[in-house]
Chains A and B, each alone.
Chain A
Amino acid sequence: MRRLAYFQRLLRRLLAGADAATNRLYGWRYNPLYHSGALVVALFAVLLVTGIYLLFLYRIGAPYASIVRITDQVWVGRWMRGVHRYGSDAAVVAVAFHVLRMFVQGRSWGPRTLAWVSGLILLFVTFLCGWTGFVMVWDVQGQVLAQAGARLLDVVPIFSEPISRAFTGERALPGAFFFLNLFAHVALPIGLGILLWVHVSRVARPALLPPRRLMWGVIGLLLALAVVWPVTNTPPADLFTLPGPAPYDVFYAFWLPAARALGPKGAWALGLALSAVALAVPWWTRPSLSRRPPASGVDERLCTGCEQCYLDCPYEAIAMIDRDPAEVADGRSAVMARVDPARCVSCGICSGSCAPMGVGPEGRTGRAQLSTVRAFTVERRPSGRDVVIVACERGAGGIAAGTEVEGALVYPVSCGGNLHTSVIEYLLRAGAGGVLVVSCPPRDCCNREGPKWLEQRLYHEREAELHDRVDRRRVRLVYAAEAERWAVRAALQAFRATIAALDAAAAETDIVLENQCEVSTISAEVRR
Chain B
Amino acid sequence: MSRMLQVAGGAVVAISVLAGVRLLSFTPYTAERDIGAVVRLAWRARGEQVRDCRRRSPEEMAQLPLHMRQEEVCEGRLLPYRLVVALDGDSLVDRLVHGAGAREDRPLYVFQDLIVEPGVHRISVRFTLEAPSAQHDSDHDGGDEARPAPQQRLALDTTITLGVRRVLLVTYDEERVRLVVRGG
Contact = CB atoms under 8 A, between A and B. Distances in A.
A68 interface: no
Given A86-B22, A162-B109, A247-B25, 11 more contacts: A86-B18, A160-B107, A168-B169, A170-B169, A170-B171, A225-B21, A240-B169, A240-B183, A241-B165, A245-B29, A247-B27
Contacts of B29: 245-248, 253, 256-257
Contacts of A168: 40, 42, 111, 169, 171
Interface string B39-54: 0101110000000000
Interface residues of B, number: 42
A177 interface: no
Nearest to A245: B30
B6 A242 contact: no
A239 B9 CA distance: 47
Interface in B1-48: 1, 6, 9-10, 13-14, 17-18, 21-22, 24-32, 35, 37-38, 40, 42-44
Interface residues of A, number: 45
A253 B30 CA distance: 12
B166 A241 contact: yes
A222 B30 CA distance: 27
Contacts of A256: 29, 31
A242 B169 contact: no
Nearest to A140: B31
A244 interface: yes
A221 B111 CA distance: 47
Interface of B: 1, 6, 9-10, 13-14, 17-18, 21-22, 24-32, 35, 37-38, 40, 42-44, 100-102, 106-107, 109, 111, 165-169, 171, 182-184
Contacts, number: 119
A229 B22 CA distance: 8
A118 B159 CA distance: 56
The 6 closest A-B pairs by CB, nearest first: A247-B26, A240-B183, A168-B42, A242-B165, A250-B24, A25-B10
Contacts of B44: 161, 165
A26 B18 contact: no
Contacts of A249: 24-27
Given A26-B10, A157-B102, A243-B31, A86 B25 contact: yes
Interface in A489-528: none
A109 to B, nearest CB: 31
Given A168-B42, A170-B171, A243-B31, A160 B111 contact: no
A151 to B, nearest CB: 10
B21 A86 contact: yes
